[in-house]
Amino acid sequence: VALPLVLAATAQGHIARDTACKDVHIFLAKGNNEPYPGRQGKLAGAICSGLDSCDYEDIQFYNPLEAPYCGSVFEGAKNGIQQITAYNKRCPDSKLVVSGYSQGGHVVGDILGGGGGVFFQDCVQEPNKGLDPKTRPANKIVAAMIFGDTRHTANQPYNVLSGAGKDGLFPRPGDQLANLAKYGDVLHNYCVDTDPICAQGDVVETHLNYFDVFTDDVAGWVKERVN
């Protein structure tokens, strides 16, 4: 199932953003053809609910249906690294949360672990180097989440849910997996075994409803990490 065919555009959940530093700052990477912030707006709202100082920003990248997949992901990874670095420089004490869904999950994986490869329509994505979890800004990331990941790879220590043992459409190579594993307890990669994208399953709805089903559990986990 091609990624654009299973994603519909929805927008929900907006959080007021300003230039002041917040105790908790969330970065969101949206799914293919979603408006900002996409389905993850609900998750950002749930994370910030009850926190005195919390907001989010969208990782900027152009990914409508007609945009070349590889170019969109490379742009998202590059901009995401720049945005995270810039915020940490401006707000060095803030705790950072990074979340990506579907194509945005691919972006977040590349931000953290490095990227590059051959994907939809045999497009070639330029390689990029991921952030080092031992140094700034990545050592201020307290939680990172990936949902319905095009690059989901079976049996990784950070995999969560019933699809943990399944490969997605484009599993990652060993060097990228090793980089992601360095994030330890910070990283969760959520995949259900019927998801066509992260587990090559056959129930499209299970790729679309992560934030209807799992938002409360994920937000609770993030708040534990924050505290």
Question: Which tens digit of pLDDT belongs to each residue from 98-145?
Answer: 999 999 999 999 999 999 999 999 999 999 999 999 999 999 999 999
Q: Look at residue 19 in the predicted model and tell me its pLDDT.
A: 79
How far is 38 from 76, CA to CA, in rounded Å?
A: 15
Q: Is the pLDDT score of 15 beyond 50?
A: no
Q: Where are the beta strands (DSSP E) in the chain?
A: 24-29, 54-58, 95-101, 115-118, 124-128, 141-147, 159-160, 187-190
Taking 50 as the threshold, does the pLDDT of residue 210 lie above it? Answer: yes
Q: pLDDT class for 69, splitting at 50, 70, 90?
A: very high
Alpha carbon distance 140, 121 (integer Å): 36
**Is the predicted pLDDT of residue 57 greater than 60, yes or no?**
yes
How far apart CA 166 and CA 199 sit, in angstroms, is 5
Encoded amino acid at 174, one letter: G
Q: Kindly list the structural domains of the chain, giving each domain's residue range(s) and its CATH number in brackets, ordered by start.
A: 21-226 (3.40.50.1820)
pTM over 0.85: yes
**In a 10 Å sphere around its CB, with 0-12 CB exposed, 13-18 middle and 19+ buried, how is residue 41 labelled?**
buried
- Extract the tokens encoding 64: 């409508």
* pLDDT given at position 3: 54
Peptide bond into 137 cis (omega under 30): yes
